[in-house]
Structure 1
């Protein structure tokens, strides 16, 4: 594994997360009382950029916020985590994206996203270097993701969430696609993709090459506080582990360990150790399991 961690550029969403924590998630038409309300920085793109920075990588965020108090808070949160925000646009007249989240006592959640500025920004004036790893999701407009895929010449990763039909051009450009098991089922074209990582929650994760399972790794048993940021932390960790030279199985194990730490943290942008900590931890676990 290389001791120099890769530079990761995230093109994606920046949201204010408004989170209601309750004993259980309401059924349709039902009101559940006794909740606790919190607000924090979020958005799949911002979560992944923050995770990459906290894991010790060089992280750059490309996205947009509104010209409002929430947008300023989101920029402060990104900068405070060590993310380069020079290419985050502040759009006059737009509101900052907002996610309304309900989390139950087991950490399961339901989310409604109001995109705001996330739906309006472009890549005009943004440049990608040949050595940059570019990580996108689908909480921003598909045309922006396609443009990023066309303009970046380095390693290109798509976290295909939320699930939707993907243009063949985009899938062919992806060096890696990351999804959860539900998204994998909802996007049949992924069965033919070059390289796909699939997360299975408590059942771990796997990598498929051209539709055939190439590696898998089990999950750790943890106490779940919040699953909102776990998938994003997994994405950042897997990309950094693979780009640092780890093989598929080791990279999955490292990403699973990062995801496990993330679900134990109630924040959408959890505190994380450096990537090498998880590399060493999973190596020790592998030795003890023999």
Structure 2
């Protein structure tokens, strides 16, 4: 089982030819409301990739709360640990330009009310093979979950903030994109950022978009995994899809190379569909793409 302690947001997505500059107004061609949030996205990605998943977090008592819970439940995620708190659910305003690039504004809402895991929540976490964490919850809650987990912690350090040493000391694997890697380490070159990360955590992955991903561990292992070619429609949640699928592959005992290939294939499938949670592939789709030996495009 994989446990996820994280955020759930309703994504308000506008599709445009070109994202507006500050002070500029542009015409959009489409608008969608799609369940998302980095925590919920990773939970759904892992469930669709074949894992038993438990989600721990919070939604508001607004109209979005039941929709967010329903999206998780439909994907097969256990939501018995999803709290309902007064006020609005988390919201993400997303602008997606032609080619799939996006910009995102997140308003925490109910996610901001989440505190460190309760004894019951810790019992769920400690029954799992891994705990997935992100940074859309209050930092004290994230740190509390990490240090108390008792299982391997996989951290996605997004949105980027200063990372407490107490948190990094509890992380088994850190997965970031190249921009996050630079922000955390001050190193512009991905390979140098990876080396800097490995001075702080035992294992790290730096994803490079169409250029693949770098993996390293303190035992000296280094690996570059090429990206799986895909025609991008919307890159929203591609990183969360990668992390969820990577956690599944690792929990199944796959090697680092096999796990990266599995995760890259899942991410490549996701970018060809609009939306966040709605774009994530099933285990059957991932396996078929891997077994065919062909690009998922």
- Alignment TM-score, normalising by the size of structure 1: 0.91
CA apart distance, 1:248: 1.1
- Whether the 8 Å contact between 1:190 and 1:211 is mirrored in structure 2 is no
Is 1:110 matched up with 2:103?
yes
Partners of 2:20 and 2:259 lie apart in 1 by 37
Partner residue in 1 for 2:177: 180
Is 1:62 matched up with 2:56?
yes
- Alignment TM-score, normalising by the size of structure 2: 0.89
- Whether the 8 Å contact between 1:130 and 1:152 is mirrored in structure 2 is no
Partner residue in 2 for 1:16: 10
Which aligned pairs between 1:92-111 and structure 2 lie closer than 5 A?
A: 92=86, 94-111=87-104
1:135 corresponds to which of 109, 132, 137: 132
Moved more, 100-109 or 120-129: 120-129
Partners of 1:201 and 1:271 lie apart in 2 by 17
5+ residue gaps, structure 2: 186-195
Partner residue in 2 for 1:245: 253
Partner residue in 2 for 1:221: 229
- Give the aligned CA root-mean-square deviation in angstroms: 1.8
1:123-180 deviation digits (Å, cap 9, x = unpaired): 2242232443110000111111111112211111111111111111211211101100
Partner residue in 2 for 1:156: 153
5+ residue gaps, structure 1: 1-6
> Structure 1 residues 280 and 102, CA, compared in 2 at 3 Å: closer, same or farther?
closer
Partners of 1:212 and 1:20 lie apart in 2 by 44
> Structure 1 residues 184 and 78, CA, compared in 2 at 3 Å: closer, same or farther?
same
CA apart distance, 1:61: 0.6
Partners of 1:169 and 1:98 lie apart in 2 by 29
Is 1:203 matched up with 2:211?
yes
- Whether the 8 Å contact between 1:115 and 1:139 is mirrored in structure 2 is yes
CA apart distance, 1:284: 5.5
Partners of 2:43 and 2:81 lie apart in 1 by 13
Is 1:267 matched up with 2:267?
no
Moved more, 129-138 or 152-161: 129-138
Partner residue in 2 for 1:190: 197
CA apart distance, 1:213: 6.2
Q: Secondary structure at the match of 2:293?
A: helix
Q: How many residues end up aligned between the 2 structures?
A: 278
1:44 corresponds to which of 38, 41, 54: 38
Is 1:90 matched up with 2:74?
no
> Structure 1 residues 149 and 178, CA, compared in 2 at 3 Å: closer, same or farther?
same
